[in-house]
Structure 1
Amino acid sequence: MKINHLTSAEENLMKLFWKLNSFYLKDVMEHHTEPKPHQNTVSTYLKILVEKGYLKTEKEGRIFKYSVLVPFEDYRNFLMKEIANNFFDGSGKEILEFLFRENLVAKDDFKEYLGEDIEIKPPKIKEPKLEIAEEILNPKKDKKAKDKKKKKKKD
Structure 2
Amino acid sequence: MKELTKAEEEIMQVLWDLDAAFVKDIIDQLPEPKPAYNTVSTIVRILQQKGFVGHEIQGRFHKYHPLITKEAYTKSLMKGFVKRYFSGSYRQMVSFFTQEDKLSLNELEQLLKELKDKNP
TM class, shorter-length: 0.7 to 0.9
Equivalent-residue separation in structure 1 for 2:83 and 2:29 (angstroms):
35
Q: Which amino acid aligns with 2:23?
A: L
Q: CA deviation at 1:114?
A: 5.5
1:14 equivalent in structure 2: 12
What's the TM-score once normalised by structure 1's chain length? 0.67
Distance 1:113 1:23, change over 3 A: closer
- Tell me which amino acid in the other structure corresponds to 2:73: Y
Q: Which amino acid aligns with 1:109?
A: L
Equivalence for 1:78: 76
Return the structure number with greater relative CO, CA threshold 8 A, min gap 6. 2
In the alignment, the residues of structure 2 paired with residue 55 and residue 114 of structure 1 have an alpha-carbon distance, to the nearest angstrom, of: 34
Q: Which residue of 1 aligns with 2:45?
A: 47
Deviates more, 1:97-106 or 1:36-45: 97-106
Aligned-pair Cα RMSD in Å = 1.8
Query: Structure 2 unaligned runs (5+)?
Result: none
Equivalent position to 2:113, from 102, 111, 116: 111
With the length of structure 2 as denominator, give the TM-score of the two structures: 0.85
Corresponding residue for residue 33 of structure 1: 31
Cα deviation, residue 17, structure 1: 1.4
Instruction: After TM superposition, give the deviation of residue 104 of structure 1 in Å.
Output: 7.3
2:27 corresponds to 1:56: no
Q: Which structure: larger Rg?
A: 1
Percent of aligned pairs sharing the same letter: 36
Rounded Cα–Cα distance in structure 2 between residues aligned with 1:104 and 1:17? 35
Runs of 4+ deviating beyond 4 Å: 112-115
Task: Provide the rounded CA distance (Å) in 1 between the counterparts of 2:99 and 2:17.
Answer: 33
Q: Separation in 1 of the partners of 2:63 and 2:116?
A: 45
Shift of 1:44: 0.4
Which is helix-richer, 1 or 2?
2
How many positions carry a matched residue from both structures? 113
1:87 corresponding residue in structure 2: 85
Alpha-carbon shift at residue 111 of structure 1 (Å)? 3.1
- Structure 1 pair 16/114, CA: closer, same or farther in 2 (3 Å)? closer
